[in-house]
Amino acid sequence: MKDLKKKPRKKQGRAAKVTMRALEILSETAMSLPDFVGAFLTAGYGASVGKMERARGGGAVDLEDINIRKYREMMYRLRRDKMVSDTRSPKGEIQYTLTEEGREYLEALRKTVPRLWLIPNYPKEESEEYILVTFDIPEKEKKKRDWLRAVLKRMEFVMVQQSVWIGKVKIPKDLIRDLKEKNLLDCVEFMETRRMGTLSAE
């Protein structure tokens, strides 16, 4: 078993983020594998507790529609490392829950994984107008600039220029909040337009 007193190594990278995501989903309640997969796919990186709760309540997913093997392997590794235990419900369904070791490891991950730069899965709501996003973020803030581009790409905006993006997606309040937390709000402008005009994506 892993030494849970040691901090997770930074070189774990994406694997550490995925593990943290899985443990956070299981941290509040026991879940079946279908419910876990549904929450894992819905919550997204950097999801708030409230969003994870809504994901948990979304019901089971159809395991035939996705590649379930990797999620079974993920759960196997978590059980092998004693981070997760399983029990059977009165209906005979296997339920997974976080162990004390898992909670300790989750706390260690929370201290080492840079949550500030995880790419949130913001809700996408179609806009009647085109939304033009422009930003001027200094080179010394390159990490923030790359984060914003990744966010816009995930929201299905189209890049016109490196710092000009357009899409028919409403800007969620959570994004405005995150921009404010990162001191980026003054660097970003949002404009509505009925037509793309002479804009053309590269």
- What are the domain boundaries of the chain? 10-117, 126-193
111-164: per-residue pLDDT in tens?
Answer: 776 655 667 778 889 999 999 999 999 988 988 998 899 899 989 999 999 899
Q: How far apart are CA 43 and CA 46, in angstroms?
A: 8
Asked if the 126-193 domain carries CATH number 3.30.70.240, the reply is yes
Which residues, in sequence order, are CB contacts of 97 under 8 Å at separation 6+?
A: 26, 29, 30, 31, 84, 85, 86, 87
What's at 94, amino acid-wise? I
Which residues, in sequence order, are CB contacts of 166 under 8 Å at separation 6+?
A: 130, 131, 132, 133, 157, 158, 160, 196, 199, 201
As given in the structure block, the two tokens for residue 95 are: 């339920």
> In Å, how far are 19, 44, 53, 76, 128 from 25, measured between CA atoms?
10, 10, 8, 16, 34
**Residue 38 is inside which H or E element, if any?**
helix 33-43
Predicted TM-score (pTM) above 0.85: no
Tens-level pLDDT at each residue, the chain (202 residues): 444 444 444 435 677 778 888 888 888 788 888 888 877 776 544 443 344 444 444 444 444 555 678 888 999 999 999 999 998 888 888 999 999 999 999 888 877 766 556 677 788 899 999 999 999 999 889 889 988 998 999 899 999 998 999 999 999 999 999 899 889 999 999 999 876 654 444 4
DSSP3 helix / strand / coil % (the chain, rounded to 5):
45, 20, 35
pLDDT at 39: 77
The answer to whether 78 and 102 are in contact (CB under 8 A) is yes
The domain defined by 10-117 folds into: Arc Repressor Mutant, subunit A (1.10.10)
